[in-house]
Amino acid sequence: MQTVLFACVHNAGRSQMAAAFFNALADAGKARALSAGTEPGERVYPDVVTALGEVGIDLAGARPRRLTDELARGAQMLVTMGCGEACPVVPGLRRQDWPLEDPRGKPIDRVREIRDEIRGRVEGLIAAEGFGRAEESSKAGR
């Protein structure tokens, strides 16, 4: 079982969406995702909850959490979400940085565009790492 850690500063938007999409789309027997932030916010941004709800993912109960050494130790890959110098660095983890706009305070249409970009990146990561579900892998091979 592999763990992918999605991290941003507030853990209230981008990393929450990425982890939710990953856990909805990846084979749970192969990999799972967690999300965290270096300075967690009080709650997931309401427009992010709305935008994910529109595609059938419920983030209403999600809470931002702090990126701790303990959390990072259980992961094999860190995906930072365009937070520049504020992005965490965790020695020993493979790392990707996705330069994504923060959805905080953006109009809902822009939040949806960010959501869709995140979904596409997550789907690409799942395919590249072989974390897809068996039925999807067999369809891809036809």
pLDDT digits (tens, 9 = 90+) for 50-109: 999 999 999 999 999 998 888 888 899 999 987 766 666 777 888 899 999 999 999 999
Report domain extents, the chain.
2-131
pTM: 0.90
Do 93 and 16 meet the contact criterion of CB atoms below 8 Å apart? no
CATH fold, domain 2-131, is Rossmann fold (3.40.50)
Which tokens sit at 22? 């990953």
Which DSSP string do the residues of 100-121 spell out, in sequence order? ----TT--HHHHHHHHHHHHHH
